[in-house]
C-alpha cells in the first residue's frame, strides 16, 4: 500500500468510519463512554495498524492471518477506547463495520458515476 492510498484510507476512516463508530458506540455503551475523538482514534489506528500488518504479512496465508489479526485488533481498539466488555466490543465492531461498508459502497458508486475512482479501502 502506498502512502497516498494510506492517507486516503485515514481520511475516509475519519470522515465515514468515525461517525458510524461514534453513533453505534453511543447506542451500546452510552454517551459518557463513546466519545467522538475515541471513534476517530479507533478508525485511524485501525487503518494504520492494518497497513502495517498487511505490509508484514504478504501472500495468501498472510492475508488470512492478517484478517484474523485485524479482527482482533479492531475489537480490542473498540473495547479499549469505549471501555466496554469484549461482547459489546464485538457487537459494536460488527455493526459499525457493516454500516461502514454499506456507506462506503454507496459513496464509491456515486464517485464512479461522477467519473472519479472508487474509494480504495473497499477494493
Give the contacts of 67 (CB within 8 A, at least 6 positions apart).
Answer: none
30 within some domain:
yes
Please tell me what DSSP assigns to residue 83.
T
22 within some domain:
yes
Condensed to tens digits (0 to 9), the pLDDT of residues 80-100 reads 999 999 999 999 999 998 998
Domain count of the chain? 1
Distance CA 31, CA 45 (A): 21
101 within some domain:
yes
Residue 59, pLDDT score: 64
Condensed to tens digits (0 to 9), the pLDDT of residues 32-43 reads 999 999 999 998
State the virtual CA torsion across 43, 48, 52, 58 in degrees, nearest 10.
60
45 within some domain:
yes
56 within some domain:
yes
121 within some domain:
no
Q: Does the pLDDT of residue 122 top 70, yes or no?
A: no
Stated pTM of the model = 0.81
122 within some domain:
no
123 within some domain:
no
Residue ranges making up the domain that contains 96? 3-113
Amino acid at each position: 500500500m502506498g502512502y497516498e492510498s494510506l492517507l486516503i484510507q485515514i481520511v475516509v476512516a475519519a470522515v465515514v468510519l468515525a461517525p458510524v463508530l461514534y453513533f453505534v458506540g453511543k447506542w451500546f455503551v452510552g454517551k459518557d463512554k463513546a466519545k467522538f475523538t475515541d471513534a476517530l482514534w479507533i478508525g485511524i489506528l485501525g487503518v494504520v495498524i492494518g497497513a502495517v500488518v498487511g505490509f508484514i504479512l504478504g501472500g495468501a496465508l498472510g492475508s488470512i492471518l492478517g484478517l484474523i489479526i485485524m479482527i482482533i485488533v479492531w475489537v480490542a481498539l473498540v473495547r479499549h477506547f469505549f471501555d466496554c466488555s469484549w461482547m459489546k466490543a464485538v457487537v459494536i465492531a460488527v455493526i459499525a463495520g457493516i454500516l461502514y461498508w454499506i456507506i462506503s459502497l454507496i459513496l464509491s458508486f456515486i464517485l464512479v458515476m461522477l467519473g472519479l475512482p472508487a474509494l480504495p479501502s473497499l477494493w
